[in-house]
A and B are shown apart, each in its own frame.
Chain A
Amino acid sequence: MFDADAAPSPLVLTGVTLTLPSAAGPVEILKGVDLTVAAGERVAVVGPSGSGKSSLIAVAAGLEQPTGGVVKLFGQDMGKLSEDGRAKLRRGHVSLVFQSFHLLPNMTAEENVATPLEIAGRKGATALARRWLDRVGLSSRLTHYPHQLSGGEQQRVALARALAIEPKLLFADEPTGNLDGINAATVADMMFDLVAQTGAAMVLVTHDPALAARADRTVTMGDGRMVETAA
């Protein structure tokens, strides 16, 4: 059993490479990335399409195995863990918010938010889910299914799902990418406020410079490498 609070940095990437097979031959997606995220730090990752931003999130969150280098989450070397081991590591400590929301279609909003709590074995998951949906302004949508919610509402449910377990580290991959201007702003504000309230560290992939500017630090990806870091 590991102690997530004991690690000095929730996320450390050292020389991470990722090469994926394709019909046209292997493609190098990440070509040696180094990144350290401190506890409570909010890091924005920007860069052109195809620069490897989403792949960086996938590798950092343990959803994808890197081809080379080391990824440490809360001091644990992810390369030494099985897929189930990585899932256990994420459980209760790491959350993700996706551009396409990825809500579970056959579960209500309340059940979607309760799911990571149930997986982590937390008691009172349903009550906690209701409280979080209230915090994101969806207390009237508890029993609605994803297909009954607007895009903005779906992303707010996803946000509640991600933060209900009070993670130490939040990954957000283009969280406002599929939303219109007003909804995007609402979700962005909500995300930054709630992250600040929970004290979670955040790695945010975005095309939106205004959103990136709200982070503590911005890193720029280019052609699979980290080309620039700005405070």
Chain B
Amino acid sequence: MSLSALPLSFRFAGRELRSGVAGFRIFLACLALGVAAIAAAGSTAEAFRQGLASQGREILGGDLRVSVEDRRFTPVEREAFRRLGPATFSAAQSAMAEAASGERRLVELRGVSSGYPLVGKVVLTGAASLDAAFVVRDGIAGAAVEQPLMERLGLKLGDRFLIGETPFIARAVLVSEPDRLGRGFALAGRVLTSLEALEAGGFLAEGLPDRGETARIALPVSANVDTASKALRKALPGQGLEIRTRNEAANGVKRLIDQLEYFLGFIGLASLVAGGLGVAGAVGAYLESRKPSIATLKALGAEGVLIRNTYLIQIALLALLGVAIGLAVGACAPLILGELARDRLPIPALFAVYPMPLLKAAAFGLLAAAAFSLVPLARARSTPPSALFRRDLSGQVGLGLETVVTALAGLGLAALAVITAPTPVAAAVMIIGVAVAFGLLALLGRGAAGLAGRLRRLTHGALRIGLANLSGPRSAARTASPAIGLGVALLSAVVLIQSSLLSQVSQVAPRTAPSMVFLDVPGDRAPQFDAALARAFGQALTAETYLRFPFVSGRISRIKGEPVDLKAIKDGERWAYDNDLQMSVFDGEPANAGVQEGRWWPAGYSGPPLVAMEIDAAKGGGLKVGDDITLSILGREIDARIAVLRKVEWGGFSPAFTVILNPGALEGAGLRYIAIAKASEDQEKAATRALGQDFAEVNIISVREGLTQAVEMFDRLSLAVRGAAAVAALAGLLVLAGAIAAGARARAREAATLKVLGGSRSQILTAYAVEYGAVGLIAGVFGVALGYAAAWPVVVLVFEAKWSVDWGGVVALVGAAAGLAALGGLLAAAQALSRRPAPVLRTE
């Protein structure tokens, strides 16, 4: 097909594009950056999802996983499992491990039956197989122990150690289990042994807490997992079985991946929005440079539609190029990540090029290009032909096709972001927040420009020139400031949230939270336990440093007489109704009870059972003071009335129980105790060793160690999260570069004029440094203020943590924004000063 057969607008567009895309570098960079971020986030998340899906069997440990709580499987159940296919059984118990040196640590002791694992491999060092690791010699069973636990207990291969009162030999180091991811997060170090050894050690005796069992079943290849799952439920109804298929192997991890993808994708979207000003600026500058041509074409008889189509084709082609570059980078980045981090990823991943995330990123990119390009196009289309005679004339933006499509594209962008988010409501709130922040920053930028105009009268010399430029119609305060500000706002929100949470974990929690938690203190020897602890601490126990509460596990089975309907309960509060809860009994109102509604029963109360319930959990289930609930505790159903709703200080030094009953409600029940203590590191070590003598059955959780691990994990994540947020700030800097480039000719003319008038190089450099430094300062200060406003509610209201500001980080952000912008201005000045005045002034 010859070129002359193409519509006229295509021919004109092709001719106009002969000048190349040099003027569109910023346009392409801004678009590509945002698209690449969204594409990379989506592709990485998809890689993890595919990895999880492909290894669903390994993660679950089979095709079906069946669990029961507080009991072993019956022979009928075991037979039903075996009829489906090969099956393995496992059980786990928390207990204290003690080395010969006296070092003690809480461990999760897991026993597995022969045939484990059904799918995948257990990786050991020191033993050739699980059978070799578990072999019983001289009546002592072997076990595989995790390396960090070996180090904490000071064990070597072949060493003997106790768990409770049962001896084991560390015959292997447990490197990995195929189903670890599917079993969730563990507070304690892991020890793996045979199920027989677990039973022989009495860890699954009747009456012990958490004596549940899990079966893993491998189905024939042709079997349908959902059909098998349904058949099993039908064959064993009402037995309290929790059945999961390989397709649900790691639902928690999947949700985490969704949230991570959304967070990273949101940053990409914020980059597109911030970069949108760069897109608009580049298109505006290009079309401004084409004004004489547009006016000429109109003088030659061209109508507005031809003008619009000619330049729309160019913009569309360049947008496609920018999106394509972004997609290429976004698709390749995860592949490179996969190669570099292959063996260090905590979650299985299948890195490849996935079309759906790329399509989504392309849609975002094209909508953003439309939203930010069409208004300058509308202005260009309405350029009057009289602009040939009056150069200051420009087109006007009125209600037309371009503005309508711009509005639709903006709405489309927001809608796409909301419908692709895992939590659409939260996404809508975030998008409205970004839009409001952007609008506010634009207004503040204009306000600052206006203020600069007023202030310049009070100054002179280079400062005056800088302020005059800042207040001018093409000031970067109106264009680059909002974009940089948005990036700074996002980055500062991330920094402020992280610093508050890190401070909460590393400084506040160690002061307010207990440093040790003692589980399963025997009720009949509680006073002796208190005395042993006081001896180990070397000081008397006080209410400020030691609390002991009766403790029992139970579950809410009915609300107001009806069985619990999980679907009717808010997602965030379902934990209180589909899990066992820690419950306690108190006679009168304890200190720090946190009563919000109702009245505590008096000491010695002996009436019908009453409950003090955690207020958020109660309201999640639609409960208020005076309502009835039924609790399943130790095989009994107890009907109780809610007397109190209380605010629990989770992580504080107070009775942190979701449900507290009056003592009469559990009369005759053999309660255990849980105790919490504040202690120094030395006291902690002394107590852990000393209690091993007479209270080996008491499990000790070191909160200090847990917090230290949390801080380490936080630190590792923080760099990655800040790096991701910095992408948005980078978009802002690209916009600044675009603003500098757009004003290059005007700056060169200005510099030439100033030189002619006797201005020195240092004066001109100072003027530009003032102008652009102020742009960065405006963006930095307002951006941080917005970031502060966004971070505070997240820290205080969502995480309920103490607000703490990393002032160093904040000052660094503002300084970086101002410094980088000033540097940009100096580079612009240097470029303008490099040209001789005469040729510049001669050129129109």
Cβ-defined contact, B11 with A63, below 8 A: no
Cβ-defined contact, A63 with B304, below 8 A: no
A109 to chain B, nearest CB (A): 13
B18 within 8 A of A: yes
A16 to chain B, nearest CB (A): 14
Residues of B within 8 A of A7 (CB): none
Cα(A83)–Cα(B388), bound, Å: 15
Cβ-defined contact, B300 with A126, below 8 A: no
Contacts A87-B298, A104-B297, A106-B18 given; does A63 touch B386 at CB 8 Å: yes
Cβ-defined contact, A119 with B293, below 8 A: no
A70 within 8 A of B: no
B12-32 CB contacts (< 8 Å) to partner A = 15-19
B62 within 8 A of A: no
Cβ-defined contact, A118 with B298, below 8 A: no
Cα(A118)–Cα(B5), bound, Å: 12
B292 within 8 A of A: yes
Cα(A64)–Cα(B386), bound, Å: 5
Residues of A within 8 A of B11 (CB): 118
Cβ-defined contact, B389 with A104, below 8 A: no
Contacts A83-B384, A92-B301, A119-B300 given; does A102 touch B292 at CB 8 Å: yes
Contacts A106-B16, A119-B8 given; does A54 touch B389 at CB 8 Å: yes
Cα(A119)–Cα(B8), bound, Å: 8
A135-164 CB contacts (< 8 Å) to partner B = 161
Return the CB mask of B365-398 against A: 1 if under 8 Å, else 0: 0000000000000000000111011100000000
Residues of A within 8 A of B386 (CB): 58, 63-64
B155 to chain A, nearest CB (A): 78
B380 to chain A, nearest CB (A): 14
Cβ-defined contact, B384 with A119, below 8 A: no
Cα(A115)–Cα(B388), bound, Å: 17
Contacts A83-B298, A115-B297 given; does A107 touch B15 at CB 8 Å: yes
Cβ-defined contact, A84 with B304, below 8 A: yes
Cβ-defined contact, A102 with B296, below 8 A: yes
Residues of A within 8 A of B390 (CB): 20
A32-82 CB contacts (< 8 Å) to partner B = 54-55, 58, 61, 63-64
Cβ-defined contact, B389 with A64, below 8 A: yes
Cα(A197)–Cα(B18), bound, Å: 36
Cα(A104)–Cα(B11), bound, Å: 14
Cα(A91)–Cα(B300), bound, Å: 7
Residues of A within 8 A of B762 (CB): none
A115-137 CB contacts (< 8 Å) to partner B = 115-116, 118-120, 126
Cβ-defined contact, B19 with A106, below 8 A: yes
Residues of A within 8 A of B292 (CB): 102
A166 within 8 A of B: no
Cβ-defined contact, A111 with B15, below 8 A: yes
Cβ-defined contact, A63 with B306, below 8 A: no
Cross-interface CB contact of A116 among B17, B295, B300, B303, cutoff 8 Å: B300
A215 to chain B, nearest CB (A): 22
B299 within 8 A of A: yes
B305 to chain A, nearest CB (A): 8
B227 within 8 A of A: no
Cβ-defined contact, A118 with B8, below 8 A: yes
Q: Which residue of A lies closest to B383 (CB)?
A: A83
Cα(A87)–Cα(B300), bound, Å: 7
B773-804 CB contacts (< 8 Å) to partner A = none
B182 to chain A, nearest CB (A): 63
Cβ-defined contact, B301 with A63, below 8 A: no
Residues of A within 8 A of B306 (CB): 119
B339-389 CB contacts (< 8 Å) to partner A = 384-386, 388-389
Residues of B within 8 A of A54 (CB): 389
Cross-interface CB contact of B301 among A58, A88, A105, cutoff 8 Å: A88
Contacts A54-B389, A58-B389 given; does A90 touch B301 at CB 8 Å: yes
Residues of A within 8 A of B385 (CB): 63, 83, 87
Contacts A63-B389, A83-B384, A119-B8 given; does A91 touch B301 at CB 8 Å: yes
A183-219 CB contacts (< 8 Å) to partner B = none
Cα(A16)–Cα(B300), bound, Å: 23
Residues of B within 8 A of A111 (CB): 15
Residues of B within 8 A of A92 (CB): 301
Cβ-defined contact, A55 with B389, below 8 A: yes
Cβ-defined contact, A102 with B18, below 8 A: no
Residues of B within 8 A of A83 (CB): 298, 304, 384-385
B205 within 8 A of A: no
Contacts A104-B296, A106-B16, A107-B15 given; does A120 touch B389 at CB 8 Å: no
Cα(A64)–Cα(B296), bound, Å: 13
Cβ-defined contact, A96 with B299, below 8 A: yes
Q: Which residue of A lies closest to B298 (CB)?
A: A87
B80 within 8 A of A: no
Cβ-defined contact, B384 with A90, below 8 A: no
> Which of A87, A88, A96, A126 has most B Cβ within 10 Å?
A87
Cβ-defined contact, A61 with B297, below 8 A: no
Cross-interface CB contact of A119 among B17, B295, B297, B388, cutoff 8 Å: B297
A21 to chain B, nearest CB (A): 10
Residues of B within 8 A of A119 (CB): 8, 297, 300-302, 306
B542 within 8 A of A: no
Cross-interface CB contact of A87 among B17, B303, B389, cutoff 8 Å: B303
B377 to chain A, nearest CB (A): 16
A114 to chain B, nearest CB (A): 10
Cβ-defined contact, B298 with A120, below 8 A: no
> Which of A61, A92, A106 has most B Cβ within 10 Å?
A106
B101 within 8 A of A: no
A176 to chain B, nearest CB (A): 18
Cα(A107)–Cα(B300), bound, Å: 14
Residues of B within 8 A of A105 (CB): 19, 293
B826 to chain A, nearest CB (A): 32
B843 within 8 A of A: no
A201 to chain B, nearest CB (A): 18
B260-304 CB contacts (< 8 Å) to partner A = 292-293, 295-304
> Which of B301, B386, B390 has most A Cβ within 10 Å?
B301
Residues of A within 8 A of B693 (CB): none
Cα(A96)–Cα(B295), bound, Å: 12
Cβ-defined contact, A104 with B304, below 8 A: no
Cα(A161)–Cα(B301), bound, Å: 12
Residues of B within 8 A of A20 (CB): 390
Cβ-defined contact, B384 with A63, below 8 A: yes
Return the CB mask of B43-78 against A: 1 if under 8 Å, else 0: 000000000000000000000000000000000000
Residues of A within 8 A of B295 (CB): 102
B293-322 CB contacts (< 8 Å) to partner A = 293, 295-306
Cβ-defined contact, B301 with A104, below 8 A: no
Cα(A118)–Cα(B11), bound, Å: 10
Residues of A within 8 A of B239 (CB): none
Cα(A192)–Cα(B581), bound, Å: 102
Cα(A107)–Cα(B14), bound, Å: 10
Residues of A within 8 A of B302 (CB): 87, 119
Cα(A176)–Cα(B384), bound, Å: 25
B4 within 8 A of A: yes
Q: Which residue of A lies closest to B294 (CB)?
A: A104
B304 to chain A, nearest CB (A): 6
Cα(A55)–Cα(B295), bound, Å: 15
B302 to chain A, nearest CB (A): 5
Q: Which residues of B contact A (CB under 8 A)?
A: 4, 8, 11, 15-19, 292-293, 295-306, 384-386, 388-390
Q: With A98-B388, A161-B300 given, name 18 new contacts (CB 8 A).
A: A20-B390, A58-B386, A61-B299, A63-B298, A63-B386, A84-B304, A87-B298, A87-B385, A88-B303, A90-B301, A102-B292, A102-B296, A103-B296, A105-B19, A106-B15, A106-B16, A106-B18, A119-B306
Contact sample, A vs B, 24 pairs, CB 8 Å cutoff: A55-B389, A61-B299, A63-B386, A63-B389, A83-B384, A84-B305, A87-B301, A88-B303, A90-B299, A90-B301, A91-B301, A92-B301, A96-B299, A102-B296, A102-B299, A104-B297, A106-B15, A106-B17, A106-B293, A107-B15, A116-B300, A116-B301, A119-B300, A119-B302
Shortest Cβ-Cβ A-B pairs, 4 listed: A91-B301, A64-B386, A63-B385, A84-B303
